[in-house]
Structure 1
Amino acid sequence: MNKKTSGKIGVLLVNLGTPDTPNTPDVRKYLREFLLDKRVIDIPAIARYALINGIIAPFRAPKSAKVYKELWTERGSPLLYHGRDLQEKLQASLGNGYHVAFGMRYQSPSIKSALEELREQSVDRIIVLPLFPQYASASTGSVQDKIMEIVKDWWIVPSINFISSFCDDPGFINAFAELGKQHMAQDNYDHVVFSYHGLPERHILKGSDHGYCKLGSCCNSYNKRNKYCYRAACFATSRLLAEQLGLREDQYTVAFQSRLGKDPWLQPYTDFILKDLPAKGIKKVLAYSPAFVADCLETTIEVGEEFKEMFLEAGGEKWQLVESLNSNPMWVEAVKEMILAN
C-alpha cells in the first residue's frame, strides 16, 4: 500500500509596509500605495485618487520623511528587520516541515514575492498570519484581499488558512504582559495607557453585525457578534493585559491614536487624554501600543517620543513605552503555537 506523501506547510507572515528608504520620493511612493487602498480610505476611487495624489502625498511625504529618518537605523526600517528576524527565528523553531516567508502589504518585500517563494517550495498548504492582533478591514482584511487577488491567477491553488485575529491569544497576551512587568519591577507607575491605532468610526459601523455595534457598551464583552469589531478587540486585549498586570479598571485607560481627516475616529484620542492625566495626580505612566507587534513609527516616535513630550509638558514626570514584541523569544513561541494550532 502506498503511503501518502506530505510536503511542507507554508507560513506567510505579513506586516503593513515601510518605505524602501527614508527619502522623500520613497516615502511618497509608499504613502500613495498605502492610502490608495480602497480598504484604507473608503471613498469613491476618483475622489480618493485626487485626494491622495493631489493633496496628501505631495504635502505629507516631506514631513513623514523627516520622521522616518529619525526612526531609521543601520539595519534600515525597524518594521522590516524585526519582521525578518521573526521569520528567521520562527523558521528555526518550526523546523524543516515548514517554510516561513515574510511579506509586506505595501512596498517590499511584496506579498506576491512571498507567495511565489512558497509556491516554489511546492507547499501543500499555506497558513497566513497578518501581524495585526485586532482584525480591521484596513489591515487584515486588506492583506486577505490582496492574497486572494494574487492566487486567483494560479492554476493550482493550495489550501489557504487565514489567522484573522489573535487579540485574545494567550501567548500574545502573556508575552506582552511580561514586557510590561519588567518595567513595573523597576518603577512604580500610577497608570497604564493602552494606545491603539485609530480607525474612522464608519469603518466599525460598516462591519457591524446587523447593527449590533453602537460604539459603546457593546464592546464590554468580546463575543461571536463582535469578533471582527476592531474596537471590541482592542478592549478585549486591554482587559486581558490588565488582568495579567494586576490592574483595576481605574488603573488603566484605552485610547486611540493616528487619526486623519475631519470625520470622527475612535475615541478617546490618546493625545487628548494624556494631557489631562497629570491634573488627576497621575505622574508616571506606562504606555502600551498593543495594535503593533513590531516597533515602528507609530510606536517608537508617536507613542514613545511625541506623547512623552506632551505628557511631560502637561506636568507628568515619567512616560515609559513598553517595547513591541519584535522577535522576542516569548513572541516567537506564541506565533509557533498559533501556527501549530492551525
Structure 2
Amino acid sequence: MAKKGILLVNLGTPDSPEVKDVRKYLDQFLMDERVIDIPKLNRTLLVKGIIVPFRSPKTSKLYKKIWNEKGSPLLYYSEQQAKMLQDRLGSEYQVELAMRYQSPSIEGALENLKKGLVSSIKVIPLFPQYASASTGSVLQLVMELLSKWPTIPPVSFVNSFHDNDLMLEIFADNARKHGVENYDHVLFSFHGLPQRQMTKSDHTGKYCLKVNNCCENYNNANKFCYSAQCHNTAKLLAEKLELSRENYSVCYQSRLGKEPWIQPYTTDVLKKLAADGKKRLLVFSPAFVADCLETIYEITVEYNEEFKELGGEHVQLVESLNTDARFIEVLAEMSI
C-alpha cells in the first residue's frame, strides 16, 4: 500500500550563527517577493545593498546568544515535531520536514516524497495564522516545484490553524504554569508585517483600514487577513484564560524599516503599560509553534530589558508548543 506524504514547512534558520551563513539566510529570505513585496530592482538594491550587509553581523551576534549544543532551537524543535509526527502516524505515512529558507530545502523534501512513491502530498506550513509572506510563500514555491514534475500526485494544503482548539489549550496551559493571576497584564505579541500586505489581503477593497477596528472582528471580509487571524487567536486564548478585555493587549514585534507596519508595535505597548504602572507582564507569541530568535531573545531578553528600563519589573515569555505531545495530535489531525 502506497504511503501518504506529509510535508511540514517552517520558516528557516541559518546553517550556523556565523556571519556568512546569516548573510546567506537573510539574502534568501528578504529577496522573496512575498516578504518584501516591492519591484525586484528596488528589492535587490535594498536587500543586497543595505539590509543584508549591515544587518548580518548584528543578527549573527543574536543567533550566537540562542545557539546551543543542539544547534538552532527552531530547527531542533521542528525536527523533533517531524519525528514525533512520523511516530504518531506510523508506516502508512512519510513525513518530511523542510524550511522555506535554507536547509532542509523544500525541493529536497519533495524529492524524498517522490522517491518514497507517495500516493498524495499534504503540505502543512507551520504558521498558525495565514500570511502571504509565510504560508503564501511556502504554497507558491511548492506549487512551482510540483508543476515541473511529469506526474503530480494529489496535493492538498493547510491554509491556517489559528483557531485550533487543542493548540490554543496548549498555549493556555503553558501560561497557567506561570500563574496568570501573578501578572498585571497579558500581551499577545505577534510577528509584524507591513500594513500594505494586509490591504492586499482585502479582496473587497472596502474593508482593510477603512472600517473602524477592522481586525478585531473576524469575519468573511477579513478571513484571509493575518492581523484579523491574530486578533482571533488572542480573543480565543483570552476566553480560555478568562481574561477581561482591559487585561490583555494585542501587539506586533520584529518591525523592519520605516514604513507603517501593523500596529500597535510591541515597544509602544510596553511604554504605555509602564506609564500606567504595570510591573509584571506575561507575553505570548502565538505566531510561532516553536521557540526561536523572536521568542527566546527578542521577548525574553530585549523586551525584558526595555520594560525594566521603563520602570517595570519582569516580562515572562509563555513557552511555545515545541515538543508538546498534544501539538503532535494537532498535526496528526491535520495530516489525516
Is 1:210 the counterpart of 2:208? The answer is: no
The CA distance in 2 between the partners of 1:318 and 1:148, in whole Å, is 45
Partner letter of residue 191 of structure 2?
H
- Three-state SS of the structure 2 residue aligned to 1:272 is helix
Greater displacement, 58-67 / 275-284: 275-284
> Would the aligned equivalents of 1:242 and 1:248 in 2 still touch at CA under 8 Å?
yes
Is 1:35 the counterpart of 2:30? The answer is: yes
Determine which of 230, 235, 238 is the counterpart of 1:234. 230
> Would the aligned equivalents of 1:33 and 1:106 in 2 still touch at CA under 8 Å?
yes
- Three-state SS of the structure 2 residue aligned to 1:40 is coil
> Would the aligned equivalents of 2:192 and 2:261 in 1 still touch at CA under 8 Å?
yes
The 1:248/1:74 distance shift into structure 2, 3 A limit, reads: same
> Would the aligned equivalents of 1:276 and 1:314 in 2 still touch at CA under 8 Å?
no
The CA distance in 2 between the partners of 1:73 and 1:84, in whole Å, is 15
Is 1:21 the counterpart of 2:24? The answer is: no
Q: Residue in 2 aligned with 1:169? A: 164
The CA distance in 2 between the partners of 1:165 and 1:222, in whole Å, is 14
Is 1:315 the counterpart of 2:311? The answer is: yes
Normalising by the residue count of structure 2, what TM-score does the alignment of the two structures yield? 0.97
State the 4+ residue runs in structure 1 displaced beyond 4 angstroms: none
- Three-state SS of the structure 2 residue aligned to 1:14 is strand
The CA distance in 2 between the partners of 1:212 and 1:167, in whole Å, is 24
Q: Residue in 2 aligned with 1:262? A: 258
Q: Residue in 2 aligned with 1:12? A: 7
- Three-state SS of the structure 2 residue aligned to 1:225 is helix
- Three-state SS of the structure 1 residue aligned to 2:202 is coil
Q: Residue in 2 aligned with 1:119? A: 114
Q: In the TM superposition, what is the alpha-carbon distance from 1:171 to its structure 2 partner?
A: 1.6
> Would the aligned equivalents of 2:204 and 2:221 in 1 still touch at CA under 8 Å?
no
1:285-300 aligned at under 5 Å gives the runs 285-300=281-296
1:78-115 CA-to-partner distances (Å, cap 9, x unmatched) read: 11010000000111111111111000000000001111
Percent of matched pairs sharing the same residue: 53
Q: Residue in 2 aligned with 1:195? A: 189
The CA distance in 1 between the partners of 2:208 and 2:151, in whole Å, is 43
**Structure 2 unaligned regions, length at least 5:** none
Greater displacement, 72-81 / 169-178: 169-178
- Three-state SS of the structure 2 residue aligned to 1:333 is helix
Normalising by the residue count of structure 1, what TM-score does the alignment of the two structures yield? 0.95
The CA distance in 1 between the partners of 2:117 and 2:169, in whole Å, is 35
Determine which of 73, 78, 81 is the counterpart of 2:73. 78
The CA distance in 2 between the partners of 1:39 and 1:7, in whole Å, is 35
**Structure 1 unaligned regions, length at least 5:** 1-5
The CA distance in 1 between the partners of 2:186 and 2:306, in whole Å, is 16
> Would the aligned equivalents of 1:12 and 1:127 in 2 still touch at CA under 8 Å?
yes
Aligned residues: 334
Q: Residue in 2 aligned with 1:324? A: 320
1:269-308 aligned at under 5 Å gives the runs 269-308=265-304
Q: Residue in 2 aligned with 1:99? A: 94
Q: Residue in 2 aligned with 1:130? A: 125
Partner letter of residue 22 of structure 1?
P
- Three-state SS of the structure 1 residue aligned to 2:222 is coil
The CA distance in 2 between the partners of 1:137 and 1:267, in whole Å, is 18
- Three-state SS of the structure 2 residue aligned to 1:129 is strand
> Would the aligned equivalents of 1:20 and 1:108 in 2 still touch at CA under 8 Å?
yes
The 1:100/1:212 distance shift into structure 2, 3 A limit, reads: farther
> Would the aligned equivalents of 1:9 and 1:97 in 2 still touch at CA under 8 Å?
yes
Determine which of 126, 135, 138 is the counterpart of 1:143. 138
The CA distance in 1 between the partners of 2:314 and 2:126, in whole Å, is 30
1:143-173 CA-to-partner distances (Å, cap 9, x unmatched) read: 0011011111101111111101100111211
> Would the aligned equivalents of 2:185 and 2:247 in 1 still touch at CA under 8 Å?
yes
Partner letter of residue 335 of structure 2?
I
Q: Residue in 2 aligned with 1:159? A: 154
Q: In the TM superposition, what is the alpha-carbon distance from 1:259 to its structure 2 partner?
A: 1.0
1:201-255 CA-to-partner distances (Å, cap 9, x unmatched) read: 0000011021243334222222232111001000000000001111010110000
Q: Residue in 2 aligned with 1:3? A: none
- Three-state SS of the structure 2 residue aligned to 1:217 is coil
Partner letter of residue 171 of structure 1?
L
Q: In the TM superposition, what is the alpha-carbon distance from 1:328 to its structure 2 partner?
A: 1.1
Greater displacement, 221-230 / 138-147: 221-230
The CA distance in 2 between the partners of 1:228 and 1:189, in whole Å, is 33
